[in-house]
Amino acid sequence: MKKLYFLFFTITLSLASYGQTPVITAIVDGDCSGGLPKLLEIYADGMVDFSLYSLENQTNNSTTWGNTQDLSTLGIVTDGFVYISTSGSIDGTNGNPSTLGSEFPSLASATVLASNTINVNGDDRIRIILNSSGATVDQYGVDNTDGSGTTWEYTDSYAKRVDGTGPDAGFTEVNWTIPGSGTLNNLGTCQGGTDTFETLIGGIGTYSTTVSTTPTINVSGAVSGLDYFEANGPSNEGTFTVSGLNLTTDLTITAPANFEVSLTTGSGFASSVAITPAMGTIATTTIYTRLVAGLTSNSYTGDATVSSTGATDQTVMLSGTVSPADPQFTVSGFIGDFSYFEGSGPSTEDSFNVEGLFLTGDITITAPTNFEVSLTTGTGFGSSVSIAPTTGTVNSTEIFVRMASGLTANSYTGDITVSSPSVTDETISLNGTVSPVAVCANVGDIIITEIMQNPSAAGNDPNGEYFEVYNTTGSAIDIQSWIIKDDNQAGETHVIGSSLIVPPMGYVLITNAATPNGGITPDYTYANDISLGNSTDGIIIECGSTVIDQVIWDNGATFPDPTGASMELSINDLNSVANDDGANWAEAVTAFGSGDLGTPGDANDNASTLSVDDFDEKLENFNMFPNPTNTGFVNITTTSNSATTVSVFDMLGKQVISETLNNNLLNVSNLNAGIYLIRLDQTSGSVTKKLVIE
């Protein structure tokens, strides 16, 4: 036992002495489509058996390490580099191009492991752990910290380990060269550039275990967007980063003409600043820069120079603009369509914002005819409003807009005009509709009888969505100004804006698009105002505040759940109560248009239900006359001697008569004129017919 222990101790000491360990030496977050390629470079310092190690990541603001990738497949590597990348970078899966080979051509013969663990962003952390203990061997990024905005962030950029450093058993930022986020923005051959990412980052596989003694300076990318208006400088601040290794003198950052730099935000700006290294090292440091005050209107560019004795100078390009202080204003926001029913105006409000600089007079907002504006919500509406500037400035101000009351049923359009002296006018187009007052019918007079919530032919979802309504009465009903609503989405509402007559005992087809599903002809379209959910959703038809009918389907629990076929209500159940029950609905079986199944605008033919004029195969034939009737009685005869129970339902599904038939005569004198369903039950079965009372 002692000999075995001594042997284990000797091996462990040997491994520690000769540094046989993996080291993270580079990390890349590409700027090609999809943020590709993602790349992690690991150096095997000595003979490294990767079966002893795993890779983990920590994303966003998570404090948990996970997405563990066992590294066994990398095998045993001695003094060499291996790489981890995402499969999308390597082989173009998930619709991404294969970017690794094009942006890092030298990896063609390298060992590359595809792993989702490296599918991270430039503000995330990644580490190598020892499988036996879970101890951190090496790491990039500060533990438990979202790197967004930090000096170690590498979004659309990269970081490379300093020669002769690592592994760190954690993260030591000073051991890394970090040019800053955005260094690879819009670059690479994937974005039309002449240089690959490999060239832009100075190559891969360049790490050396030998400590460099050469003074070295690192800087991040260019700074742009340093702008101000004439006589209103200095500009906003921009930033870049600097770092240095093996420096023997101060690191000096010198601004070009018309710019200035500082080591702190908001103060300390000068033509140059200096940083003293600590033991030859300057950790990644943020430098603030801006355009100096007092410049005339123009564009300005120049290179900030970063220098230290014995090191090669580095430059950072700075650019900005001084704009003329001309009178100007900005209009922002979007105005939706307005609507109300005749006699119930004004419409609800919408709003936009205006702001201005260097103005010599008021900003005036003028509404077109039939619309009005105000500076306050709910009150103060008129044909125009004005805002007086303070020392030439109007801070962002909300302008409220609505369609005026008292308008007749019609469509209305016009342009709001925003104006101020010496500034070009801007306009905002307005649209509104005043709908006629809805003429409401009784609950259940109009019902929903067919719904195509999930079309599939020719990619017609959602364009091919439709639903069908049926008039259960003997009189035509115009549903103009009725409201279609989505049960599941509060914002999905459509007011039927034109006359839409549903004929007596007839159908109207209401669709999402004008020519859906092979060119079927709709009676009306709601043009994407309503979206029919494929799982659980519903359609509500309202008039005024009254729900005339609604159907709520339930992801297949009781209702059908078809794809490429409509849901059809049994024509035995044409009433607003029966169509609430999923058992009364079935999948359509008749092909139409582009190949989906349904009977849009026609009577349903679902095979699983009986027609109101069909007989149960076990029921003897019968006759019912007169039908229609205005005599107050109906004669019913059958060929069977068994007792006959008669049930009569109105079109709301309410039972109005239930009795056993005597002398073949049914008294209907107490029923109002209209359409009814009459069901006869005998021991051999049942049958349902339509009864019309005049």
Of 686, 505, 577, the closest CA to residue 569 belongs to: 577
Whether this prediction's pTM lies above 0.85 is answered by no
Tokens 């076990």, residue located:
618
Render 419-441 in DSSP notation, one character per residue: EETTEEEEEEEEEEEEEPPP---
Euclidean distance between CA atoms 225 and 322, whole angstroms: 10
Of 529, 567, 564, the closest CA to residue 449 belongs to: 567
Tokens 């159908």, residue located:
507
Read off the tokens for 663: 């002398």
Query: 69-108 burial, b if ≥16 CB within 10 A, otherwise e?
Result: bebeebeebeeebbbbbbbbbbeeeeebbbbbbbbbeebe
Q: Are 143 and 169 in contact (CB under 8 A)?
A: no
Mean pLDDT of successive 10-residue stretches along the chain, which has 694 residues: 39 46 96 91 97 96 94 96 87 60 90 94 96 96 94 94 94 91 91 93 94 91 94 95 94 98 97 96 94 97 98 96 96 93 93 97 98 98 98 97 96 97 97 92 95 82 90 92 86 88 92 77 88 91 93 93 92 89 90 87 61 41 81 84 82 79 87 84 74 86
